[in-house]
Every structure is written in C-alpha cells, then in structure tokens.
Amino acid sequence: MRQSGMALISALIFLLIMLLIVSANLFISQMSIKSAQSAQRQLLFEQQALALHLNSVTDTTDDISETDLTVVSRCPASYAVWSDTLVQCDLLTLATSLLSDDSRFATSYSSMLLRQKIVDGEVLSAD
C-alpha cells in the first residue's frame, strides 16, 4: 500500500510539473501574439500618418492656409540669377503630427517644399 501511495504522489508531482510547463508555454505564446499585434497596429498607424502627410504635400497649393506652412526663406540660392520680379518663390516646411486615440503611438513627418510662381507680364531680356 505504501508503494502505491508513493507512485500516486510521484504521478501527481509529475502532472503538476507538466501543468506548469504547459501553462508557461501558453502564457509566452499569448505574450508573443500581443506583441505581434501591437507591432502591427503601430505599423498601420505609421502608414496612416504617412498617407495623411503625403496627401497634405500633394494638396499643398494656394488653397492651404498659410498657418500650416512655415516660410523658411524666400528664393533659394539656385534662383539667385532670376530677378525677384520674374520669379516669386518660397521655401516652406510642412509638418504633420498624429497621435493615436489611446495615446500609445505618436508619429510626425515633415517635408520641405519649394513654391514657385512666374510673374505674369514680365519678360527676361537676353541683352
């Protein structure tokens, strides 16, 4: 009787150890899944922010308000040969920042834009 009790206790200890190993593996796999989902949500959020910024860059024309743009300088050095009366240009920066609803993810993008406008009625002489 005593040996069957020891065998039962040994079997129960073995089952307890196996249960602990299996539950640890399940916990690790759940953490792995949560980590992968979080990384995927972050990538989707960054893709959404980049798409929003690229739409802002392509939509940047005269209809965007000047408060969204920061004028860095007037005509850059490569336009120094042009008269200010012939070509009007602005070097601008456009920044887009996005914060997720649950405040876990934040990203921002910025671009430099050159806005040029040829003044109507002016002619460059070749003298």
Flag whether the pTM goes above 0.75: no
- 125 occurs within a structural domain: no
Q: Whole domain around residue 71: which residue ranges?
A: 2-118
- 107 occurs within a structural domain: yes
- 124 occurs within a structural domain: no
In the chain, how many domains are there?
1
HEC profile for the chain? CHHHHHHHHHHHHHHHHHHHHHHHHHHHHHHHHHHHHHHHHHHHHHHHHHHHHHHHHHCCCCCCCCCCEEEEECCCHHHCCCCCCCEEEEEEEEEEEEECCCCCCEEEEEEEEEEEEECCCCCCCCC
CA dist 56 and 61 (Å) reads: 10
- 126 occurs within a structural domain: no
Q: Which residues pair with 69 in a beta bridge?
A: 94
For the stretch 7-16, pLDDT in tens is 899 999 999 9
Percent of the chain clearing pLDDT 90 (strictly above): 20
For the stretch 91-114, pLDDT in tens is 778 888 888 888 788 888 888 877
AA identity, residue 120: D
